[in-house]
Amino acid sequence: MIMKNWREKLQNLDTAEISDALDACGIEGALLKIKPAASSVKLVGEAFTVQYAPYEAQPTEYKNAGDYIDEVPAGAVVVLDNQGREDCTTWGDILTQVSLAKGIAGTVIYGAIRDVALIRELRYPVFSKNIYMRSGKNRVHKIAQQCPLNIEGIVINPGDIIVGDDNGVLVIPRAHLDEVIQKAENIKRTEQAIINSVKNGEKLSIARKLFRYDQPWLSKDTTV
Amino acid sequence: MIMKNWREKLQNLDTAEISDALDACGIEGALLKIKPAASSVKLVGEAFTVQYAPYEAQPTEYKNAGDYIDEVPAGAVVVLDNQGREDCTTWGDILTQVSLAKGIAGTVIYGAIRDVALIRELRYPVFSKNIYMRSGKNRVHKIAQQCPLNIEGIVINPGDIIVGDDNGVLVIPRAHLDEVIQKAENIKRTEQAIINSVKNGEKLSIARKLFRYDQPWLSKDTTV
Amino acid sequence: MIMKNWREKLQNLDTAEISDALDACGIEGALLKIKPAASSVKLVGEAFTVQYAPYEAQPTEYKNAGDYIDEVPAGAVVVLDNQGREDCTTWGDILTQVSLAKGIAGTVIYGAIRDVALIRELRYPVFSKNIYMRSGKNRVHKIAQQCPLNIEGIVINPGDIIVGDDNGVLVIPRAHLDEVIQKAENIKRTEQAIINSVKNGEKLSIARKLFRYDQPWLSKDTTV
């Protein structure tokens, strides 16, 4: 149903090009307020979703926040919605080490993470709203997994495609993946043609007209 | 009207020294919430101002957010007010490449930027409120240029002097440039004398009195 | 009253392990919204507290914000509460140089700092809510020192122990220091045993049971 080499193709596209392709399809996919834990780290993979919520009553014994990592397949991206909470963490050193050992592609937390020194050292791709050290244990817990999430108004379904880089994170609905990749590749070619033209002395307003910046997602001859 | 070598002099002053000189003149010029895209990058230049606003009706065709860059002179700083919006970008790779090709000094965005990996790699000075990837195209557009801006309560007129470094960005009203530079240079000398004195074992409270830290902007003999 | 080698022991524990030990003691100590000025810088020391507040009337002459640094002993941590203000600074180059000359361990500002380029270059440990350049002089002043502070709901008394790293900053009440260190050391051993187990192919859910992740602060045999 989706093209075979989508991972390789998305590795060669950045979130700006993909976001413009989403715009061309009329789809909102950018996740506001979620930032990379390290610079120059790229994330591509299918979402494995996890929903967290606060405990309604304080647990009387020491409770792990949620078991799910053993079920996450290699190549997937853990997308965990802790409702944007900045005051307790739901990702840290153990989960990072387990994820690397299992070949999990990376992690997106709508909430906070800890052990960021290790995460940066190991170059494991993590994106989150905050960095802190106070644990989510006994404060929040898993209420569902592989369910739809809603992060800052964007719906993320299990199997949707997640891409992250220095600009932030976005989600591509699985059914639109091929169309988004094709448009993003055309956008990349259009922008590169404009940049080359300007470097050769053309005015930007002229270069934009020459290479149809009004429709950058169309396939075109950029060898003019 | 303003001293000839102001660029060179401002390259040797940091925003803390300049901000104290603005305080000594009774002028507010610091731009809150606008942060450097990279560390150790200095920005000095005259403001070329651009005002953006949301589209009142959604455009029916793909619209470029605004043409202005061909009119920005070498050495200027693009100061673009997108009303503090964090959810769409008004600066990215094409404008960065054009600016470098034209010798534009740098960019200040009261809003969001994208393609930050390239911006960091090329060391082009950019300061903004947010980093994101969702385009401003079809969401916002240019409504004026070379007009007064009001960013977080600070008025910026075309031709005002912009200085940015790791501490953030500020604006010096053009008419006060000479006075601000002279005071900032005296402040720098006063602070250096105090630091040297403390390194030689003096108490800070004594060193502050010795070098008139109550009036650091006055010209003084710091060879005591 | 407290163990002799607490500084050395805390240098070998990170804020995540210490925060979990605080949780096991039922103590809240994490300071929300206060971030490191540089990465990979560790802070350990006893709090020397300083309370700032706005001037009620604008001073008619140039006023230093507050003298206290000459009284801070070597090895202490300056903890300065400027009520979370992001729009003016209460720490910069002079205080950094004085602190290094005196052997002060580091600084935590619930407010803003400046001269961050120098702070990063010298690797002096500073944690703050904001980085900016506008001075606190004539805007805020010291109203008390060596008094209890309340930062984001956490009380900090003079002599309490401050620890900071890439995850952020926390405070350990002095009376609980020994208990917190012992629990944190056990937590560190438990987590290391779980990580080693998972690296050897065990499932995380099994490893957590094997090493009693429900009570990680207990002393245990991790050589299983």
d(CA A5, CA A11): 10
DSSP for B131-150? E---B-TTTEEEEEESS-EE
Question: B interface mutation test: which of C89, C132, C142 has the most B CBs within 10 A?
Answer: C132
- Give the pLDDT score at B208: 86
Q: Is residue C220 predicted with pLDDT exceeding 70?
A: no
Chains that touch C (3 or more CB pairs under 8 A): A, B
| Among A162-166, B212-216, C72-76, the least confident range | B212-216
Contact B53, B143 (CB under 8 A): yes
- Please say if the pLDDT value at position C136 is more than 50: yes
- Residues from chain C contacting residue B203 (CB–CB below 8 Å): 70
Residue B16 identity = A
- In this structure, are residues B52 and B81 in contact, taking their beta carbons and an 8 Å threshold? yes
Burial of A23 (0-12, 13-18, 19+ CB in 10 A): buried
Q: Which chains touch A (3 or more CB pairs under 8 A)?
A: B, C
| B19 vs C contacts (CB less than 8 Å) | 133-135
- First and final C-alpha spacing in chain C: 35
Residue B222 has pLDDT above 60, yes or no: no
* Chain C partners within 8 Å of B195 (Cβ): 93-94, 97
Chain mean position to CA C4: 20
CB-based contact (8 Å) between A62 and chain C?
yes
Alpha-carbon dihedral sign for residues C199, C205, C210, C215: positive
Contact criterion met (CB < 8 Å) for C167 and A120: no
Report d(CA C121, CA B66) in Å as an integer.
40
pLDDT digits (tens, 9 = 90+) for B132-191: 999 999 999 999 999 999 999 999 999 999 999 999 999 999 999 999 999 999 999 999
Nearest to A133 among C15, C24, C194 (CB): C15
Q: Which of C166, C208, C216 lies at the smallest CB-CB distance from A117?
A: C166
Interface test with C, best of A70, A71, A134 (most C CBs within 10 A): A134
Q: Which amino acid is present at C138?
A: N
Q: What is the mean pLDDT of chain B?
A: 93
Residue in C with minimal Cα distance to A87: C32
- Gap between the Cα atoms of A181 and A20, Å rounded: 11
Neighbouring CB atoms inside 10 A of A54's CB total 14
Chains that touch B (3 or more CB pairs under 8 A): A, C
Asked if the model's pLDDT at residue C224 lies above 80, the reply is no
Output the pLDDT for position C83.
Answer: 98
Q: Is a pLDDT exceeding 60 seen at residue C88?
A: yes
CB B136 within 8 A of CB B88: yes
Higher pLDDT, C83 or B206: C83
pLDDT value for B126: 98
Neighbours of A47 (CB within 10 A): 22
CA B187/CA B16 separation, integer angstroms: 10
Residues of chain A with pLDDT > 90, as a percent, come to: 81
Q: How far does the CA of residue B137 sit from the closest CA of chain C (Å)?
A: 31
Structural contact between residues C180 and C103, judged by C-beta atoms closer than 8 angstroms? no
Q: Which residues face B168 on adjacent strands?
A: B165
Distance from the Cα of A62 to chain C's closest Cα (Å) equals 5
Report yes or no: A91 and A113 within 8 Å, Cβ to Cβ: yes
Nearest chain A residue to C198 by CA distance is A98
Token reading at A167: 């600009």
Q: Convert the pLDDT of each residue in A74-90 to its tens digit.
A: 999 999 999 999 999 99
Question: Of A69, A72, A29, A78, which Cα lies nearest the Cα of A49?
Answer: A78
Distance CA A134, CA A137 (A): 9
**pLDDT (tens digit per residue) in A17-70:** 999 999 999 999 999 999 999 999 999 999 999 999 999 877 777 777 678 999
Model confidence, pTM: 0.95
CB A89 within 8 A of CB A70: no
Q: Tabulate helix, strand, coil % of chain C (nearest 5).
A: 30, 25, 40
- Domain edges within chain A: 28-172
Which ipTM score applies to this complex? 0.94
For residues B138-151, b (16+ Cβ closer than 10 Å) or e, as one string?
bbbbbeebeeebeb
**CA-CA distances (angstroms) from residue A104 to A5, A109, A161?**
18, 15, 14
Instruction: Tell me the residue type at B197.
Output: S
Say what the pLDDT of residue C222 is: 57
**Interface with A, mutate which of B134, B137, B139, B142 (most A CBs under 10 A):** B134
Q: Would you call A53 an interface residue with chain B, using a CB distance cutoff of 8 Å?
A: no
Residue type, B105: A
pLDDT category at A224 given cuts 50, 70, 90 is very low
- Give pLDDT, residue A184: 97
CB-closest option in A62, A63, A94 to C195: A94
Distance from CA of C139 to the nearest CA of A (A): 30
| Per-residue 3-state assignment (H helix, E strand, C coil) for chain A | CCCCCHHHHHHCCCHHHHHHHHHHHCCCCEECCCEECCCCCCEEEEEEEEEEEECCCCCCCCCCCCCCHHHCCCCEEEEEECCCCCCCECCCHHHHHHHHHHCCCEEEEEEEECCHHHHHHHCCCEEEEEECCCECCCCEEEEEECCCEEECCEEECCCCEEEEECCEEEEECHHHHHHHHHHHHHHHHHHHHHHHHHHCCCCHHHHHHHCCCCCCCCCCCCCC
Is B215's CB within 8 Å of C120's CB?
no
Q: How far is CA C137 from the centre of its chain?
A: 25
What's the pLDDT score for residue A209?
87
> Per-residue pLDDT averaged across B54-67, rounded?
78
Name the CA radius of gyration of chain C, rounded: 20
- Reading the block at residue A188, the tokens are 């990349």
Q: Label residue B205 by pLDDT band (50, 70, 90).
A: confident
Cβ <8 Å between B214 and C64: yes
Chain C residue nearest residue B168, CA to CA: C132
* Cβ–Cβ < 8 Å for A136, A89: yes
Interior CA angle at B155 toward B149 and B161, to 5°? Answer: 95
Query: Does the beta carbon of C25 lie under 8 angstroms from any beta carbon of chain A?
Result: no
> Where does C28-172 sit in CATH, by number?
3.50.30.40
C135 with B39: Cβ contact below 8 A: no
**C-alpha–C-alpha distance, residues C95 and C101, integer Å:** 10
User: CB contact, 8 Å: A202 with chain B?
Assistant: no
Query: Which chain C residues are Cβ-neighbours of A95 within 8 angstroms?
Result: 204
